[in-house]
Structures are given as structure tokens and as C-alpha cells.
Chains A and B, each alone.
Chain A
Amino acid sequence: MAARVLQQCVRSLARPSLRLCPVSAALRAAVAPAVGVHRPVSFAADSRRTRWLGQSRISSVVVLCRQYGDLPPLTLETIKDRVMYVLKLYDKINPEKLQETSHFMKDLGLDSLDQVEIIMAMEDEFGFEIPDAEAEKLMSPEEIVQYIADKKDVYE
């Protein structure tokens, strides 16, 4: 719902300025503080805006969300893609057999030491520590994605 409100704001603000210059500093400043609060939403607002700008033959792409040198915001999709990518790179896993719900020990035939290595690879990929007590419970890619989403406050 917040996304819809935001998109309407962007539409109403962008309409008068479409014919003039592609981006005015005032427009960006007006929208950016609102967008800065809802980081996952900025993708939707951004794509709408670039579509109009494309229609009016303006080539510059505006990033509405001020990130101040931070990483791009995580979404469940990107977390899942990254987790599956790291797992496919692991040589003891057969990439064809890998599903989101495949259990490491029962379906993929790995043992607990392999699971430790997988969790360490996830720690390297996402840049934060996973304590041992919680790490030994993560037994499938889906559980890993859920855990990371919990820790990083990613919600849909």
C-alpha cells in the first residue's frame, strides 16, 4: 500500500517536469526522503520512473534511493539467487539435483563437516557471522534463506 501511495506521488510530481528537464534537484529531494524510509520499495518506484523517462526520450536513469555507500537492499529473491549460486559452485553438490527444499544430508548426501563448510561460504557471501548453535540447524537452502532474511530484516 505504501508502494502505491509512493508511486502516485512520483507520478504527480514527475508529470509537470517531463517536458522540461529529466531530473530536477527539487524533485529528487522531495521524493528521496520518503523513499529513503522504504528501501525495498525503491525498486518499484525506480522502474516506473525510468519507464516514463524512456517514453519521453530522456536517457538519464535516476536512482531515487540515497544509499550513502551502503550495499543495495536485499530482497528475498536476491538472497535466494545468491544462496543457490554459492551452492552450485560447491563441488560436492550436483547442480541438477539441487532444489530449494533439498536437505543437505538426506537428499544431497553431505555430512556435517560439509554443512559447516557451506555455512561458512554463506557467511563469506553475505558478510555476517552465523553462530554455531544456529548454524547446525540450517539443513536446506530454504532454511538458509529464511534465516538470512530474519537476520537482515528482509520482509515482503
Chain B
Amino acid sequence: MMAASSRSQVISLYKAMVKASSRFPSYNYRTYALRRVRDAFRANGKVEDPRAVEKLLEEGQQMLALIQRQVSIGQMYGAQRTVVE
């Protein structure tokens, strides 16, 4: 059932989420998503209980799917570049 050890699953989930978040066309969504992903992974880094870890991984997968959907929607409707970019 476990494709890989939970540690490497967490690492690949983090990598996938950061990659997906950096594809947001909108500056605000992109910076927020990257910041939120980083903060969430750091805050939950100390969790030891395997069931809690599994539950967090599940949530992470759903969030990853959400980010990917929102990225696709954002890319459909182009937005103007903001001044900060």
C-alpha cells in the first residue's frame, strides 16, 4: 500500500506542490500558495504519529489537486502583469 516510505512521500509531495504553485499566472496567488505550502510543511514537520502523518498527506494530495485546477483556470483567463513583476 505504501509506495515509498512516508518521508520520501512527504518530500515528493512538497516538491510537487511547490512546482504547481509556481505556475500560477497571478502574482498574488503564486506568492500566497508558495508561502502557505512552506509554512504548512514546516509547522507539521514535528508530527510523529503515523496515522496523523497519513491524514496530513491525504489533505496535501487534495490541496495539490486544488492548486493544479486553479492553475489551469488561471491560465485560461489571462491577467495583466502587476507592477511588482
A interface residues (Cβ-Cβ under 8 A, vs B): 111-113, 116-117, 120, 132-133, 135-136
Q: How many residues on the B side are at the interface (Cβ–Cβ under 8 A)?
A: 12
25 A-B pairs whose Cβ atoms sit less than 8 Å apart in the complex: A111-B45, A112-B7, A112-B11, A113-B11, A113-B14, A113-B38, A113-B41, A113-B42, A113-B45, A116-B11, A116-B14, A116-B15, A116-B18, A117-B18, A120-B15, A120-B18, A120-B19, A132-B8, A132-B11, A132-B12, A132-B15, A133-B8, A135-B15, A136-B8, A136-B11
Residues of B within 8 A of A116 (CB): 11, 14-15, 18
Cα-based distance from A38 to B40 in the complex (angstroms): 49
Cα-based distance from A5 to B19 in the complex (angstroms): 47
B interface residues (Cβ-Cβ under 8 A, vs A): 7-8, 11-12, 14-15, 18-19, 38, 41-42, 45
Looking at chain A's contact residues, the main secondary structure is: helix
Residues of A within 8 A of B15 (CB): 116, 120, 132, 135
Given contacts A112-B11, A113-B41, A132-B15, 14 further A-B contacts (CB under 8 A): A111-B45, A112-B7, A113-B11, A113-B14, A113-B42, A113-B45, A116-B15, A116-B18, A120-B18, A132-B11, A132-B12, A133-B8, A135-B15, A136-B8
